[in-house]
Amino acid sequence: MQSLDLDVLCDAREWASAGHRVNLLTVIETFGSAPRPIGSMLAIRDDGRVSGSVSGGCVEDDLILRATRGEYALLPQRLTYGVTKDEATRFGLPCGGTLELVCEPLLEIKWIDELLAACATHQRVTRRLDMQSGVVSLHTDQQAVELKFDGATLRSVFGPRWRLLIIGAGQLSQILAAMATPLGYAVFVCDPRDTYANAWDATLGSYLPGMPDDVVREMNCDQHTAIAAVTHDPKLDDMALLEALRSDAFYVGALGSRANQSKRRERLALFDLSAQQIARLHGPIGLHIGSRTPAEIAVSILAEITKVKNGC
C-alpha cells in the first residue's frame, strides 16, 4: 500500500493516458479552519471524476463543475475560496476559513512515472512546478519535508517524510508496517531471530539485519524517526531501547503491560541513561483504546505516534 498522494497521481496518470483532460489541484495555504491540510491533492478529469480531496463539500463541487465546463487555463493558476464570510459559508469553510489552491493542467505524464519509480525505492522527491511555464522538474532531496510556494514556484514533497523502525517481525509488526506506509513512513524492521526474519514480507518494509542496538545506532535516528519495540522479548526490546532513548527519535515505545514496563524502567536505570531519557519511553505502547487484537494494537500505536508527531 502506498501513500494517498501517490494514489492520486496514479489515477491522474491513468486518466491522462486514456485521453482525458486532467487537472491537479494542491492546497498551498489555509487561513482559519480548513477541512484539509496544506499539500492535500485532488485530481479531476473532464467528466467530473475525482481522486483525492482538497476540501470536501461545496468547494470540490465547484471545482468539478469548472472542470466539466472546461474553464481551467492551460497554465497553472492560483485559486482562492472563502475570501469573504459569505463565500466561506457558501463553500462550507468553517469559521470563515480561506483555502488557496494551485490548479495545474496535466499536459505531460512522464514525470509521474519517474516520481513513482523514485518513491518505490523509498527516495524522497521534491517536485518543482514553474507557474509561468507549467514545466515540472524532479529533484531527490532527503531533507525536504514541507510544501513551499513563493508565487513563482510550487515545491511539493513526495515519498516517505518519516521513518518507522519496528523491532520484531511478527504478525503485529506486519500489520503496523502496512498501516504506516499510507501515513508517509518509510518502514524498517529488525529481528535477529531467523524464524521471524525469514518470514518477513519485503513489500511491507526494509529488513535490516543485525542486533537491535546496532541497527538503532547505525540508522542515526533523527527527529523524523519513530521506534516501536514489539517483540515482547526484553532481551531484544531493551537492547533497542538503550540506544533509542539516547537518540533524537521523536517517538520511542515498547510493548508490554504496566507491570512489565515498570520492571523495564528499573532495568534501564541500571545503564547509562538519565531519568529524562527513560521518561521518554512510551510504555505500554499506544493509546489506551482497549486494544486486544494485533490490528487494534497497531491502530493504537500509530495513533499515539501521530499524536506525538503532531505535538498534541
Tens of pLDDT, residue by residue, the chain (312 residues): 457 788 999 999 999 999 999 999 999 988 765 567 889 999 999 999 999 998 866 788 889 999 999 999 899 999 988 755 565 555 555 555 678 999 999 999 999 999 999 887 778 899 999 999 999 999 987 666 689 999 999 999 887 778 999 999 999 999 999 999 888 898 999 999 988 888 899 889 999 999 999 999 999 898 889 999 999 898 999 999 999 999 999 999 999 999 999 999 999 999 989 999 999 999 999 999 999 899 999 999 999 999 999 988
CATH code for residues 162-309: 3.40.50.720
Instruction: Report the distance separating Cα 279 and Cα 297, nearest Å.
Output: 22
pLDDT tens digits, residue range 132-186? 999 999 998 766 668 999 999 999 988 777 899 999 999 999 999 999 988 889 8
DSSP-based three-state secondary structure for 25: strand
User: Residue 301 in contact with residue 309, Cβ under 8 Å?
Assistant: no
Chain CA centroid to CA 73, Å: 31
Q: What is the pTM of this model?
A: 0.70
Instruction: Report the distance separating Cα 191 and Cα 195, nearest Å.
Output: 9
Instruction: Report the distance separating Cα 186 and Cα 204, nearest Å.
Output: 9
pLDDT tens digits, residue range 194-229? 888 888 998 899 999 999 999 999 998 988 899 999
User: Omega of the bond prior to 234 within 30 degrees of 0, cis?
Assistant: no
Range(s) of the chain covered by CATH 3.40.50.720: 162-309
Q: How far is CA 193 from CA 61, 126, 171, 219, 226, in A?
A: 53, 38, 14, 20, 22
Give every CB contact of residue 254 below 8 A, 6+ residues apart in sequence: 228, 229, 230, 237, 241, 261, 264, 281, 282, 283, 285
